């Protein structure tokens, strides 16, 4: 902006202000998407005008240099440049719009901070130069109205007066759905003897954490306990609260016997060092409540605030949409559909209720139509998007990608962590399953997803035995990394955020291509416009409730796809014909969310895919696949979850070893009709991991299992009808992990189990019929850990214990609280 640059270089403060103000008004008229942000910024400029006039007058009277206004000039210069760039943004440039919207928000914050500083500066100037008290009072009265708008958002300015920062913010006019969460906070924090000293209240942005914390502070029972010692501090992204820590130290020293409640609101991810400073005060009457989008696991107890139920969501929506008047012309059914789409997310309800308030019925109907065509709630809710955007932007690059990948799965369904492991291992070239789970924990810690383990083993007791011969470094194995009980749940608003960001690139350039055509079976408009073009997508997701694909998808050109996720709900399903041309496909996830296993056809299309390494099938009839068997020579891992298997593999026209010659891992989970494994499975000599879990009718393993000479992990947990382990297991000399947890029917172990020279860990908890161990277990020279329960611990006796490094006594822990959502 050449001419504008010259203007800025030689302009006085008033000219800069006029230039910025004029451009901003034009941008608002142009109807730039984020009008609310622009109006807020304009409001700040309106407040700035009298301050500029006032300070320039002081500078003339007091002969102060213009350098004093340098920061303010820089803010306005940036404003002129930024507004100019906003003019250049085109309608379809969603990413640029969001980027400049964030910069406008930051600029507005900088301007507000400067307003505060200028207020303080003007007072100092007046005092230093003996301007009359009457003039000072008059001038301050001109500034105060401007300051009142931003007063609540400023960090405390005076150490000596805690009143400036300790008060909780005002509650909104209507508070709903917090009765139970409030009881939970009181139960956890108000027990001064046994309760926790620090509690992290966590949820995504816009869920009501600050409102709940404020409600807690204003609760009468809480005030009766803490009286005047309730302090509420809003922490910024870059907190500088050293003086509060000092004050707290002094307060506890002087009044340590009096109960104290300190609330740190809106603590950002990465603020562990800050929390350490406040958590160092270990006193029985000191309680610290932290609200954050991050969980901060290492600081102990946390409480996750859930979304609103339907009744409370409807109350909140009626309030913001001003539908309390019985004469409202909006049908209740329209309100219900809007509220259901907001999924109990308070900020989404507030934003959409407010935007529809007073609008004609046609606008309401249009909103629903837009959503049905694939639009998200973020496309029509700027405030909601900006609130959640900060959580997304705070992630590092790799975790951002993982968050976006969660949008590949349908709403209201739990996502198996095992499916994400298959995707991320191939797409991001990860070596360990634990890396994938670690990424899920990082998303969960930031309230962008919820990682749930529905059944896990809780360690009750650990016995360690120090032995010189065990002290050499042992390579870490991953056999005990069992993640079939791990699932990811995610609020639909967060899923839509992932989809929103996935759509920011032009269609043909998108990395993730997501088709959700459930219900109406209609393709989105953006696809109909681009259907004949070659797409560069590398991850493709298609969700439908119809057995037949729209014909357009059979001919789609996506040669670069590496991950294909197919979700459906029907008894018969055919793979899209376009799969045959996905030469780079590495991972295929096929999920039937219906009640019965589905017949799967077109499976033969996969035979030409030389890069396909992983297949995961959920609720599929395997017999429908093996009727026309194919060879998949590159396949390394196959997972079958809740599938009908029966005698499917036994009746194949080609041996399993010929169909999958390079298979290294088999996972079979919750396949209720599996009675026995086919004998020719033992010809898969490349197999390293065999996991057959929760298959309660499995009664026997093939006697030839000893032929699997490369097997490293054998997991048979919760196969309750399994009677014994074959004697040939002695030949599995590379086996380092054996899991027979909850195999109730096993009465004895093979006599020569001691020949398992590589065995390092055995899990044999809940094997109640196992009464004794063969003497050969004394020959298990590399055995380091036995995982068991209190009953099976007795079997090992003192003689066996002396040969072990570790005995872990565990107790099963079920987590079923998440099931009500599915």
Alpha-carbon span 722 to 742, nearest angstrom: 10
Alpha-carbon span 629 to 613, nearest angstrom: 17
DSSP notation for 633-654: TT--EEEEES-B-TTTTTT-SS
Q: Which of 574, 592, 640, 567 is nearest to 408 (CA)?
A: 567
Give phi and psi for 198, each to the nearest 5.
-135, 130
| pTM of this structure | 0.71
Model pLDDT, residue 380: 58
Please report, for residues 155, 261, 576, 620, 815, the alpha-carbon distance to residue 234 in angstroms, rounded to integers and kept in the order given.
7, 14, 53, 52, 34
DSSP notation for 320-369: HTT--STT--S-HHHHHHHHHHHTT-HHHHHHHHHHHTT--HHHHHHHHH
Going by C-beta distance under 8 Å and a sequence separation of 6 or more, which residues neighbour residue 306? 181, 203, 344
Count of CB atoms situated within 10 Å of the CB of 484: 20
Residues of the chain with pLDDT under 70: 1-13, 29-36, 47, 49-69, 89-99, 112-167, 192-195, 236-243, 255-256, 282, 284, 324-328, 374-383, 456-480, 518-532, 546-552, 651, 798-799, 801, 812-822
Give the residue carrying structure tokens 């760039």.
85
Structure confidence by residue, pLDDT tens digits, 620-637: 999 888 888 889 999 999
Alpha-carbon span 58 to 69, nearest angstrom: 12
Model pLDDT, residue 497: 86
Going by C-beta distance under 8 Å and a sequence separation of 6 or more, which residues neighbour residue 163? none
Alpha-carbon span 39 to 383, nearest angstrom: 13
| Number of alpha helices (DSSP H) and beta strands (DSSP E) in the chain | 25, 24
Here the tokens at position 229 are 């010692």
Model pLDDT, residue 7: 32
Alpha-carbon span 50 to 143, nearest angstrom: 7
Here the tokens at position 628 are 């026309």
Model pLDDT, residue 810: 74
H or E segment at 286?
A: strand 286-292
Q: Which of 516, 511, 506 is nearest to 546 (CA)?
A: 516
Give the residue carrying structure tokens 């096993």.
746
Model pLDDT, residue 248: 73
CB 650 within 8 A of CB 623: no
Q: Which of 328, 479, 499, 509 is nearest to 405 (CA)?
A: 499
Q: Which of 207, 813, 694 is nearest to 450 (CA)?
A: 207
Here the tokens at position 787 are 């995982």
Model pLDDT, residue 160: 34
CB 334 within 8 A of CB 365: yes
Model pLDDT, residue 97: 64
CB 238 within 8 A of CB 261: no
Contacts 24+ apart (CB under 8 A), 315-318: 315/174, 315/176, 316/174, 316/176, 316/177, 316/346, 316/349, 316/350, 316/353, 317/342, 317/349, 317/352, 317/353, 318/353
Structure confidence by residue, pLDDT tens digits, 504-559: 888 888 999 998 876 555 666 666 666 567 889 999 999 887 655 666 677 788 89
Model pLDDT, residue 158: 37
CB 606 within 8 A of CB 579: yes
Please report which residue ranges of 66-132 form alpha helices under DSSP H: 70-88, 94-128
CB 587 within 8 A of CB 422: yes
Here the tokens at position 54 are 């006032």
Alpha-carbon span 29 to 6, nearest angstrom: 26
H or E segment at 45?
A: helix 35-62
Model pLDDT, residue 251: 72
CB 226 within 8 A of CB 215: no
Q: Which of 610, 542, 607, 551 is nearest to 570 (CA)?
A: 542
Alpha-carbon span 421 to 428, nearest angstrom: 10
Residue 758: burial class (beta carbons within 10 Å; 0-12, 13-18, 19+) = middle
Beta strands in 346-485 (DSSP E): 415-416, 450-453, 455-464
CA–chain centroid gap for 777, Å, is 45
**Cα four-point dihedral sign 502, 504, 510, 511:** negative
Residues in the chain: 822
């Amino acid at each position: 902006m050449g001419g504008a640059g010259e203007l800025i270089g030689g302009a006085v403060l008033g000219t800069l202000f006029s230039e910025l103000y004029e451009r901003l008004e034009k941008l608002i008229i142009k109807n730039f998407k984020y009008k609310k942000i622009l109006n807020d910024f304009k409001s700040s400029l309106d407040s700035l005008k009298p301050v500029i006039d006032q300070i320039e007058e002081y500078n003339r009277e007091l002969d102060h240099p213009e350098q004093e206004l340098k920061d303010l000039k820089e803010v306005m210069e940036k404003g002129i440049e930024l507004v100019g760039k906003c003019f250049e943004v085109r309608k379809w440039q969603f990413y640029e719009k969001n980027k400049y919207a964030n910069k406008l928000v930051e600029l507005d914050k900088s301007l507000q901070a400067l307003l505060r500083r200028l207020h303080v500066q003007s007072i100092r100037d007046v005092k230093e130069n003996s301007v009359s008290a009457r003039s000072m009072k008059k001038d301050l009265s001109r500034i105060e109205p401007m300051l009142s708008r931003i007063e609540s958002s400023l960090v405390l300015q005076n150490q000596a007066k805690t009143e400036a920062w300790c008060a909780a913010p005002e509650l909104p006019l209507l508070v709903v759905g917090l009765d139970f969460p409030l009881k939970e906070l009181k139960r956890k924090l108000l027990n001064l003897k046994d309760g926790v000293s620090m509690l992290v209240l966590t949820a995504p942005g816009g869920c009501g954490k600050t409102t709940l914390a404020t409600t807690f502070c204003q609760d009468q029972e809480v005030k009766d306990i803490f009286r005047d010692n309730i302090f509420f501090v809003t922490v910024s992204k870059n907190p500088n609260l050293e003086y509060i820590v000092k004050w707290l130290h002094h307060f506890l020293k002087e009044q340590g016997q009096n109960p104290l409640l300190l609330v740190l609101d809106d603590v950002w991810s990465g603020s562990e060092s800050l929390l350490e400073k406040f958590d160092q005060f270990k006193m029985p009457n000191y309680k610290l409540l932290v609200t954050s989008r991050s969980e901060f696991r290492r600081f102990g107890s946390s409480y996750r605030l859930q979304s609103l139920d339907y009744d409370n969501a409807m109350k909140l929506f009626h309030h913001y949409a001003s539908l309390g008047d019985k004469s409202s012309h909006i049908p209740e059914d329209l309100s219900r559909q809007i509220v259901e789409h907001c999924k109990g997310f308070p900020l989404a309800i507030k934003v959409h209720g407010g935007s529809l308030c007073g609008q004609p019925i046609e606008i309401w109907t249009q909103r629903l139509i837009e959503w049905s065509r694939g639009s998200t709630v973020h496309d029509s809710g700027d405030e909601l998007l900006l609130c959640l955007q900060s959580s997304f932007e705070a992630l590092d690059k790799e975790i951002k990608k993982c968050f976006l990948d969660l949008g590949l799965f349908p709403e209201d369904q739990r996502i198996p962590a095992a499916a994400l492991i298959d995707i991320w291992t191939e797409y991001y070239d990860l070596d360990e399953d634990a890396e994938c789970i670690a990424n899920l924990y990082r998303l969960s810690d930031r309230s962008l997803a919820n990682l749930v383990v529905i059944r896990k083993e809780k360690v009750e007791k650990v016995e360690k035995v120090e032995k010189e011969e065990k002290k050499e470094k042992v390579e870490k194995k991953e056999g005990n990394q069992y993640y079939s009980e791990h699932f990811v749940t995610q609020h639909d608003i967060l899923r839509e955020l992932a989809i929103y960001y996935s759509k920011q690139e032009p269609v043909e350039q998108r990395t993730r291509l997501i088709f959700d055509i459930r219900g109406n079976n209609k393709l989105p408009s953006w696809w109909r416009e681009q259907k004949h073009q070659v797409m560069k997508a590398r991850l493709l997701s298609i969700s439908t409730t119809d057995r037949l694909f729209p014909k357009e998808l059979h001919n789609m050109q996506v040669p670069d796809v590496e991950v294909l996720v197919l979700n459906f709900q029907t008894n018969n399903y055919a793979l899209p014909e376009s799969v045959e041309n996905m030469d780079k496909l590495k991972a295929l996830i096929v999920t039937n969310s219906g009640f019965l296993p589905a017949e799967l056809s077109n499976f033969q299309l996969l035979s030409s895919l030389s890069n396909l390494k992983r297949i995961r099938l959920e609720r599929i009839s395997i017999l429908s696949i093996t009727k026309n068997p194919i060879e998949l020579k590159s396949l390394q891992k196959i997972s079958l979850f809740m599938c009908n298997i029966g005698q499917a593999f036994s009746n194949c026209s080609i041996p399993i070893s010929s169909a999958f010659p390079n298979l290294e891992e088999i996972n079979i989970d919750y396949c209720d009709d599996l009675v026995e494994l086919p004998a020719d499975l033992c010809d898969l000599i490349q197999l390293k991991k065999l996991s057959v879990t929760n298959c309660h009718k499995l009664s026997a393993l093939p006697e030839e299992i000893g032929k699997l000479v490369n097997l490293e992990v054998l997991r048979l947990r919760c196969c309750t009808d399994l009677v014994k382990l074959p004697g040939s297991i002695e030949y599995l000399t590379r086996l380092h992990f054996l899991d027979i947890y909850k195999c109730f029917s096993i009465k004895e172990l093979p006599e020569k189990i001691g020949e398992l020279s590589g065995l390092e860990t055995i899990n044999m908890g809940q094997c109640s019929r196992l009464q004794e161990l063969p003497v050969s277990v004394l020959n298990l020279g590399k055995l380091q850990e036995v995982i068991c329960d209190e009953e099976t611990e007795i079997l090992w006796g003192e003689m066996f214990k002396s040969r072990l490094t570790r005995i872990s006594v565990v107790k099963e822990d079920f987590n079923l609280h998440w099931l009500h959502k599915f």
